Structures are given as C-alpha cells and as structure tokens.
Amino acid sequence: MITFYGSAGAASGTTKVSGNGFVANIQGQLVGRDVIAVHPAQVENPTGQGGPLIIRTAAQRVLASGRVNGAVTTDQPLAVIGAEEFIVRSIVFTRASAVPDAAMKGGVYTLPGKAGQVLVPATQGYDTLAEPVDFNEVEVSTGEISTAPFIYVSLTTANPSPIEMEVHVIGDVLRYAAS
C-alpha cells in the first residue's frame, strides 16, 4: 500500500492518495494508479518506505497447475508446462471444494516420495481455505534451479472427508522448453 500526502489545490487542502501502484499527477490532481505492464511486473519495496518503488518486468509465469485430492496422502503430480529450467517462487492453493480440517497438512516436492527440493514443508496447513474464493499463497524460499518435469503435492495428513483444491505453481523461467 502506498500512501502519498500532497497538495491538491488551495480549495481542498491536503490530499491523501492510497493504493497499490504509483501516484500520478494528472492536471494538478494526485491520483493512485495500478501498475500496468505488458509482462508480469515485479514490484520491489511496495510500501515505499526505505527507498523508491522499483518496478521491473519479471519472467514469472504459472509453471504447473491442477486440481488435487486432499483426502489422500499419495503423490499427486502436476506437469511442468513450457519450462525446462526454472525457479519456483510461490505456490497458490485455492478453490477448495469443502472446508479443510485443521489436521490436513502436507508439502510440495520436485520428486515423488516427498523427495527432491522441498518447495512447501510437510507441516503446511490448509484450513484457511474456508470459502471457494479464499487462497493460500506459500512463498518458496529454496531459490534452487530445478529441471523437474513434475511438481508433486503430497499430503502428510489427509483431510478426513472428501475435498479437492486447485494448486498453481508460479516461478521464474530460466530456459523455455523447445517446441
């Protein structure tokens, strides 16, 4: 959130413009604008505290996506599409078909059998997905380059009742797959 205080004219005094993006001066009016880019945009220092807002294009894209069963503990592969070499940055869990139990926990890996890079730890809970519009975005801190053809969702503790949810793996593409 960016908050900018400035003068908007003698009649109105001081104006506060809040929003995610940047502040533009349009004909003497301070206006909060969203960041719009042709490519995905990476925003550094989005609060504006401690330095200027830096916006650059990023090569992030959805690497793998699919619907998984939250009532099983078997490996559930999501095929990596269009990338031979990549770094996973975040994983989004959303659109649960039911409310997950607090006991439902599990991780995401680059190899079956809970092996390879640990992208999401086995202790990750999903009980924040109470409504279909809720999402849980988990940042991945490994920063390791991967060439895995699949990403595996593997729960440690399954939900006691039937449930499905969408999983979207997002990252930086370092080398695109040959077409």
- Same domain as 36, residue 19: yes
Question: Distance between CA 162 and CA 166 in Å, rounded?
Answer: 14
Question: Distance between CA 72 and CA 163 in Å, rounded?
Answer: 9
Residue 164's domain is classified under what CATH number?
Answer: 2.60.120.260
* Last residue of one domain, picked from the residues 32, 57, 82: 57
- Same domain as 98, residue 42: no
Question: Distance between CA 23 and CA 35 in Å, rounded?
Answer: 10
Sequence-distant (6+) residues with CB within 8 A of 94 are 129, 133, 134, 135, 136, 165, 166, 168
Domain that holds residue 143: 60-176
- Same domain as 23, residue 70: no
- Same domain as 16, residue 102: no
On whether the CB atoms of residues 155 and 105 are closer than 8 A, the answer is yes
On whether the CB atoms of residues 18 and 34 are closer than 8 A, the answer is no
pLDDT at 2 over 50: no
- Same domain as 142, residue 70: yes
The CA-based angle 57-175-44, given to 5 degrees, is 25
- Same domain as 121, residue 52: no
Closest CA to 80 of 93, 63, 62: 63
- Same domain as 68, residue 53: no
Q: What does each C-alpha distance from 9 to 3, 14, 15 come to in angstroms?
A: 18, 8, 9
pLDDT digits (tens, 9 = 90+) for 108-117: 999 999 999 9
Give 8's Cβ-side CA count (13 Å radius).
16
- Same domain as 67, residue 52: no
- Same domain as 125, residue 113: yes
- Same domain as 83, residue 171: yes
- Threshold 0.75, pTM exceeds: no
- Same domain as 44, residue 82: no
pLDDT digits (tens, 9 = 90+) for 60-93: 789 999 999 999 999 999 999 999 999 999 999 9
Element (H, E) at 16: strand 14-19
Domain count, the chain: 2
pLDDT digits (tens, 9 = 90+) for 24-46: 566 666 655 555 544 455 666 65
- Same domain as 64, residue 47: no
